[in-house]
């Protein structure tokens, strides 16, 4: 392959556009202070001359690549697709490139992180995936911050932004009990994910603190996906014919949506008249006519903005490995039509 890049410099562009070389540099620097008109004139001149500045060469000088690695695990849950999109869009607006890695179900992120480190990124954002402590140590040695999004590692002081998942589980326990439910199905997600585990634990803790006994809760492993939940709910309540509970809580929306589909189309049940259903995430799909799901909203935009703020703090820290912070964002009840009655005033019921 011939890579005959034209030998055009910023000096040529400056001359053509009638500006200084410093202005050309500012025009190509994301967030550079320059008027729109001047920037447009410089970019037009650059396009005419086929001029492209070389970011990699300059990265060797600044020791920053202006690139953030985004490692994303469970894209079977649409919530994380919305997260992926929000991160790419927000990082782009800040002038940063995004190297994206996906992790297959059941794999760890070790291979991805090893490759991320080879590539010299400024920072790593990791979501919906597991990371080993040895890889964390490797990143810290390289002074590359890792921020965990909706994940944390017990015992490790890695910066974390997450929803208050346990509190959300407690809220849904109160909402469903308040609507009259006394028996429950709890659709659990990936057991290795702290998000799923915390939501389930908060839900159970709050039920048991009240008058609900363990035997009144069917705990069903569903693996976080629509298909996993559909198959599990069919197996337990259709094939095995177990008596239906009063309420189903899916620790994410896609699992709650799968339960609705099985209950309605497989068992002919009316929701919420025959059985109530609740979810967690408030993905756009959960608001559509076939679902109208009562759920808890995770505020993606706030969580993404907080993650990027933490990323900047990490990069500015004198000792990256020692930097630690945790931002915990409350979820928000979205009252739709799968739980009967009126929206409760949660301040009355929650501790």
Query: Under the rule (CB under 8 A), what is the footprint of its own copies?
Result: 1-6, 28, 43, 47, 50, 52-57, 59-60, 63, 65, 67, 70, 75, 78, 81, 84-85, 88-89, 92, 97-102, 104, 112, 114-115, 117-120, 134, 138, 141-143, 226, 261-262, 264-266, 284-285, 288-290, 315-320
Q: What is d(CA 132, CA 227) in angstroms, rounded to the nearest whole number?
A: 28
- CB 177 → its own copies: shortest distance, Å? 29
Q: What is d(CA 228, CA 224) in angstroms, rounded to the nearest whole number?
A: 7
Nearer to its own copies, 47 or 301 (CB): 47
Nearer to its own copies, 287 or 346 (CB): 287
Nearer to its own copies, 169 or 223 (CB): 223
User: What secondary structure, in 3-state letters, does 231-264 show?
Assistant: HHHHHHHHHCCCCCCCEEEECCHHHHHHHHHHHH
- CB 83 → its own copies: shortest distance, Å? 12
What residues have CB less than 8 Å from 59, skipping those under 6 apart? Answer: 65, 66, 120
- CB 43 → its own copies: shortest distance, Å? 7
DSSP code of residue 339: S
Nearer to its own copies, 29 or 201 (CB): 29
On whether the CB atoms of residues 183 and 207 are closer than 8 A, the answer is: no
- CB 347 → its own copies: shortest distance, Å? 33
- CB 85 → its own copies: shortest distance, Å? 5
On whether the CB atoms of residues 51 and 44 are closer than 8 A, the answer is: no
**Cα-Cα end-to-end distance for the chain:** 68
Q: What is d(CA 325, CA 102) in angstroms, rounded to the nearest whole number?
A: 25
Nearer to its own copies, 93 or 242 (CB): 93
């Amino acid at each position: 392959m011939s890579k005959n890049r034209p030998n055009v410099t910023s000096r040529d562009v400056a001359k053509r556009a009638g500006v200084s070389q410093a202005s050309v540099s500012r025009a190509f620097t994301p967030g550079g202070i320059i008027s729109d008109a001047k920037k447009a004139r410089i970019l037009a001149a650059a396009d005419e001359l086929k001029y492209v500045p070389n970011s990699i060469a300059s990265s060797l000088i600044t020791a920053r690549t202006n690139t953030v690695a985004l490692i994303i695990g469970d894209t079977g849950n649409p919530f994380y697709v919305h997260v992926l999109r929000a991160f790419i869009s927000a990082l782009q607006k800040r002038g940063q490139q995004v190297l994206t890695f996906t992790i297959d179900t059941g794999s760890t992120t070790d291979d991805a992180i090893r490759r991320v480190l080879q590539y010299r990124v400024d920072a790593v954002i990791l979501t919906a995936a597991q990371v080993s402590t040895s890889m964390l140590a490797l990143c810290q040695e390289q002074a590359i911050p890792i921020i965990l999004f909706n994940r944390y590692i017990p015992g490790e002081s890695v910066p974390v932004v997450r929803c208050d998942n346990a509190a959300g589980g407690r809220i849904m326990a109160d909402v469903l009990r308040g609507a009259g439910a006394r028996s429950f199905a709890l659709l659990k997600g990936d057991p290795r994910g702290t998000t799923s585990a915390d939501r389930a634990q908060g839900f159970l803790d709050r039920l048991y603190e009240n008058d609900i006994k363990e035997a009144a809760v069917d705990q069903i492993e569903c693996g976080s996906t629509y298909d996993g939940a559909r198959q599990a709910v069919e197996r337990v309540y259709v094939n095995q014919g177990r008596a239906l509970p009063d309420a189903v809580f899916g620790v994410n929306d896609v699992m709650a949506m799968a339960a609705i589909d099985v209950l309605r189309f497989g068992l002919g049940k009316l929701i919420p008249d025959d059985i109530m259903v609740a979810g967690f995430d408030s993905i756009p799909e959960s608001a559509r006519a076939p679902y109208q799901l009562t759920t808890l909203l995770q505020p993606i935009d706030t969580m993404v903005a907080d993650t990027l703020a933490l990323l900047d703090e990490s990069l500015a820290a004198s000792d990256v490995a020692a930097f630690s912070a945790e931002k915990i964002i409350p979820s928000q009840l979205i009252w739709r039509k799968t739980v009967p009655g009126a929206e409760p005033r949660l301040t009355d019921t929650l501790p």
